[in-house]
Structure 1
Amino acid sequence: MKRETLFLKVAIFVIGSPILALCLFWVPGIIGEHSIIHHDLSLWRAPMMIGLYVTAIAFFIALYQAFKLLRLIDKEEAFSEESVGALRVIMICAITISVFYVLVSPLLYAMAQIEDAPGLLAIGLVILFASTVIAGFAAVLKKLLHQAIEIKSEHDLTV
């Protein structure tokens, strides 16, 4: 199984690296630049940075849990309560990101109006939609995995 999961492990790294770079270099610069140019947005600088970093932390926790799931698959322990727990954490992280972007969407709309940049709102909506889909998918997988574990444990008891 290690060969099959290697691609997914690399994909997790490839997805996480640019997001980490954005969090370290781009977010502080762009938010600082906007607060200098638009003084009415300077009040929102700290809440915006805190919110973006909270969602980034949730994102990286979810990536770690996905990596943990892949390790469990490699060890042939995919049908375990640890896998269910990892899927639960992924679901909670995705819901956290969704809730944040629902709450911040009015601010994104206001910033898009000030900047005349409708793409800003579109990016927020794409992130909201993607995290909602991931939360739903993780919930379904968690339920299926939990049922499979119950069936497996019943089967083990009858043998």
Structure 2
Amino acid sequence: MKQGSTLFLKIVVILIGIPVLALCIFVVPEIANYAAKLYPKIALMKYLIFIDLYAAAIPFYFALYQAFKLLIYIDQNKAFSELSVNALKNIKLSAIAISVLYVLGLPLFYLIADMDDAPGIIVIGMILIFASMVIAVFAAVLQRLLKEAIDIKSENDLTV
């Protein structure tokens, strides 16, 4: 397969990471400062927001890296290999980790929404959790299908 066939997808993976990086640099500190102003008696509020949102960014970027590796495997005609199965497994685990981190941070979203009288914040948190779980399920299905295809391929290679 030509290496340029997945070039568009590689560019998209990189472009997906840029806005999230911008959010981490510019928006997350503003959210943390705003939460600290809403709850001045909770000294750790600012740091809890930082921990939750930045911790969710780590598995996000790891999943993007795994998707990029998967595209490289496709370019190298290694799409039907254990390397691809492992990349999909890592994407699935990253999506689950993101969901878990946002579930753990949902009480913080609730506190901010309650004080600011903005229930949309909770809805946004639920959408992030739901989207991550959908990605995890999709990666799990692809992982299982790819594993079965590899097994069938290995059986056919052994057949004379």
Q: Same fold (TM over 0.5)?
A: yes
Query: d(CA) in 1 for partners of 2:5 and 2:118?
Result: 42
Distance 1:78 1:154, change over 3 A: same
Query: d(CA) in 1 for partners of 2:147 and 2:106?
Result: 35
Partner SS for 1:39: coil
1:116-144 CA-partner distances (Å, limit 9, x unpaired): 12221121111111100000000011011
Gaps of 5+ in 1: none
1:7-66 CA-partner distances (Å, limit 9, x unpaired): 211111111101011112221233124313531454222122112111100000000000
1:71-99 CA-partner distances (Å, limit 9, x unpaired): 11111110000000000000000001111
Give RMSD over aligned pairs: 1.5
Structure 1 residue 157: deviation in Å?
A: 1.3
Matched residue, 2:10: 9
Partner SS for 1:78: coil
4+ runs deviating over 6 angstroms: none
When normalised by structure 1's length, the TM-score is 0.92
Gaps of 5+ in 2: none
Matched residue, 1:143: 144
Say whether the 8 Å CA contact 2:35–2:112 is kept in structure 1: no
Distance 1:108 1:30, change over 3 A: closer
Matched residue, 1:119: 120
What is the percentage of aligned positions where both structures have the same residue? 53
Compare the two structures and name the one with the higher helix fraction.
Answer: 1
Q: How does 1:92-111 map to 2 (within 5 A)?
A: 92-111=93-112
Q: How does 1:32-47 map to 2 (within 5 A)?
A: 32-47=33-48
Counting matched residue pairs gives 159
